[in-house]
Every structure is written in C-alpha cells, then in structure tokens.
C-alpha cells in the first residue's frame, strides 16, 4: 500500500516538474519566428479549455492572426482542474497571458493574483470573474446575449412565451453568467413571458442534449421555445426534433454559426441562432495584451459583439466576411 502511494507521489512530482519545465522552455522563444520570419517582440501564453469545440478553434485563429500582424509569438496551453499548466504559470517567463477562466472563481483569483506578483500582464477572455475584476476583459456581454434572444423571439413568436434555456458545461462562460442572460431576456420580453424561464443544463457528453430534448418534447408540452447556448447541443437536439418528425411543434433557437446550423435556419427548422465572434475575441485579446505590456494600460472591457441570425439576415451574414461579425 505504501509502495503504491509512493509511486503515485513520484508520478505527480514527475508530472509537475515536466509541466514547469515545458512552460519555462516555451517562454524562452527566439526573437525571430511566428511563421513569417518577422521580428518577435513578445511571447504570450494563451490558456484555453482543452477541447476541440469550434468556439476555441476560432478564438485561436483570431489570436494567431493578431500575433502575426503585431509581432507576438503565441503558445497555447490547457486550463482545467486536471491540467497543471495554469497552476504552474507563475513560474514561467512569458511576457503576458490570455486566460479563459475555466476554474472556480476563488481558485482563479488566487492563481491570477500569484501571477500578478510577478508583474506579468493578464487579459481575461469570454468569462469575466464575479464582482470587480482588476484584469481587463475581452468578450461578449451576456446581458446582450439575452437581449438578442429576446429580440429574436419577439420577431416570430406571439405571447405567451414559455421557454427553457439550456446551458452547458461545454460553454462554461455563458453558464457562469446565466443570470445576466436571463435578465437580458426578461428585459426585452417583459410580460410576454407566460411563465418564469426554465433552465436546464447539459454535461460534456455530446449525447446529453439529445436525451434532454427527447424528455422535454415528451414530458413538458407547455414549453413552446427552447434556447441552446452551445453549438454542439444545438445540432444534437435539432436532430432529435427531425427524427421525431416534430419540426415546428417547438421553436428552437440555436447557438453558433456552424454550417449545419445555418442550413437549419434556411430550411425553417431553427428559428434562428445566436452568433458570438470568437475570432474577434482572440484578435482583440492579443491586441489588448500588447498594449497593456507596452503602455501599462488598456481598456478594461472590450465588447466583441453578438448577433441574432435569422431567415431575414442569413444571406447578409454569410456574405459578411465569411460570417464574421
């Protein structure tokens, strides 16, 4: 038993050492790199959840574009309770950090404050911390997300609206600020809501949204509008409605701008979708971090916008720089 405990402890120490050395080595970037041979002024670390969702892919693309333009080398690292990279970030020599807060707020603050003591500038993206955060924020105003949902519903749906908002562990930034989302919805719809907003939550399992949608269609016939806050959940749940031949029995508002989602809008299967702008989040985060590094200050909040995409503006959205806001 003691031997097993010692082995586990040794493996943890090895993993810890490896993580620290990886961060240190990555932070020692050559002065010329970044794909184009241009001079590199800074090396920034970007900490994002370790998954393959479209939102994070687009955010990375925007950050990389800004890095090429502004002479900033970027390295991407996972953040999460089981990932050591961010816990060890204070020991690195990065010139700055872009962080998606993917840990409990109290723990995030503790680690960010430790990094602050080493005078490394930090930009938060997409999910701000509760209360007053001293770190500049680049991302979406989730109150505006709620208002856009309300606007979209009011265009096509007559009162009374009985709705469910489906949050997801796959979109933690929105789930963390769900109260703001619902405040935005209520602010726009007001007394058009026929009942208090029902909230549901899916986990990281891609099949969870399918099961939830099946349950709502079967057991909650009073709900006439379902809003999703994750693109994967949107696609999974919409397929359930199609398979059950119940298109039109409930109005569905999706999230994201993947090709199939836009096609569902075109075919009147989805009422519309909420489009954030992750590429602009990534781009503006690098831009803000460079300014913070050089000048010691940058705007405390950069709103990258949100849009409701419906049949009315679908063609325009598609033609607008490939779907970028």
Q: What are the chain's domains?
A: 33-140+278-305 (3.40.50.2300), 142-275 (3.40.50.2300)
- Which residues, in sequence order, are bridge partners of residue 222? none
User: What pLDDT score was predicted for residue 35?
Assistant: 52
Q: Rounded distance, CA 262 to CA 68, Å?
A: 30
Q: Rounded distance, CA 325 to CA 322, Å?
A: 9
- 146 within 8 A of 157, measured Cβ to Cβ: no
Task: Note down pLDDT in tens along the chain; length 325 residues.
Answer: 555 545 444 444 444 444 444 444 444 444 334 555 468 899 999 999 887 777 888 999 999 999 999 999 999 999 877 777 888 887 888 999 999 988 888 888 888 988 888 889 999 998 877 666 789 999 999 999 999 999 999 988 777 999 999 999 888 889 989 999 999 999 999 999 999 999 999 998 889 999 999 999 999 999 999 999 999 999 999 999 999 999 989 999 999 998 999 999 999 999 999 999 999 999 999 999 999 999 999 999 999 999 999 999 999 998 875 545 4
Q: Rounded distance, CA 155 to CA 280, Å?
A: 27
User: What pLDDT score was predicted for residue 38?
Assistant: 60
User: What pLDDT score was predicted for residue 171?
Assistant: 85
User: What pLDDT score was predicted for residue 131?
Assistant: 61
At a CB cut-off of 8 Å and minimum separation 6, what does 174 contact? 142, 145, 167, 168, 181, 229, 230
User: What pLDDT score was predicted for residue 8?
Assistant: 46
User: What pLDDT score was predicted for residue 106?
Assistant: 84
- Let me know if 50 is exposed, middle or buried by CB neighbors in 10 A (0-12, 13-18, 19+): middle
Three-state secondary structure readout of the chain: CHHHHHHHHHHHHHHHHHHHHHHHHHHCCCCECCCCCCECCEEEEEEEECCCCHHHHHHHHHHHHHHHHHCEEEEEEEECCCCCCCCCHHHCCCCEEEECCCCCHHHHHHHHHHHHCCCCCEEEECCCCCCCCCCCEEECCHHHHHHHHHHHHHHHCCCCECEEEEEECCCHHHHHCHHHHHHHHHHHHHHHECCCCEEEEECCCCCHHHHHHHHHHHHCCCCCEEEECCHHHHHHHHHHHHHCCCECCEEEEEECCCHHHHHHHHCCCCCEEEECCHHHHHHHHHHHHHHHHHHCCCCCEEECCCEEECCCCHHHHHHCHHHCC
User: What pLDDT score was predicted for residue 130?
Assistant: 66
Contacts 24+ apart (CB under 8 A), 258-261: 258/54, 258/231, 260/235, 261/231, 261/234, 261/235
């Amino acid at each position: 038993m003691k031997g097993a405990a010692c082995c586990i402890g040794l493996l943890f120490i090895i993993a810890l050492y490896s993580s620290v050395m990886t961060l240190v080595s990555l932070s020692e970037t050559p002065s010329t790199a970044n794909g184009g041979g241009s001079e590199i002024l800074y090396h920034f670390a970007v900490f994002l959840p370790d998954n393959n969702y479209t939102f994070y892919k687009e955010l990375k693309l925007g950050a990389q574009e800004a890095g090429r333009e502004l002479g900033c080398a970027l390295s991407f690292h996972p953040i999460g309770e089981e990932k050591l990279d961010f816990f060890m970030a204070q020991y690195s020599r990065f010139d700055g950090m872009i962080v998606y807060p993917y840990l409990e707020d109290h723990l995030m603050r503790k680690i960010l404050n430790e990094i602050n003591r080493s005078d490394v500038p930090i930009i938060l993206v997409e999910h701000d911390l509760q209360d007053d955060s001293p770190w500049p924020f680049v991302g979406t105003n989730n109150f505006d997300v709620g208002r856009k949902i309300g606007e979209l519903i009011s265009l096509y749906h007559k009162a009374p609206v009985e709705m469910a908002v489906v949050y997801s562990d796959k979109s933690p930034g929105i789930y963390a600020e769900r109260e703001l989302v619902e405040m935005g919805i209520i602010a726009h719809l007001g007394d058009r809501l026929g009942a208090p907003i029902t909230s549901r939550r899916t986990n990281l399992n891609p099949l969870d949204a399918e099961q939830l949608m099946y349950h709502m269609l079967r057991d909650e016939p009073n709900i006439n509008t379902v809003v999703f806050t994750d693109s994967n959940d949107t696609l999974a749940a919409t397929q359930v409605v199609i398979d059950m031949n119940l298109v039109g029995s409930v109005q569905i508002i999706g999230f994201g701008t993947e090709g199939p989602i836009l096609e569902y809008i075109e075919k009147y299967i989805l009422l519309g979708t909420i489009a954030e702008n992750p590429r602009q989040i990534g781009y503006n985060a690098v831009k803000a971090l460079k300014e913070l590094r050089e000048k010691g200050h940058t705007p405390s909040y950069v709103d990258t916008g949100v849009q409701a995409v419906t049949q009315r503006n679908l063609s325009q959205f598609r033609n607008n720089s490939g779907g970028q806001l």
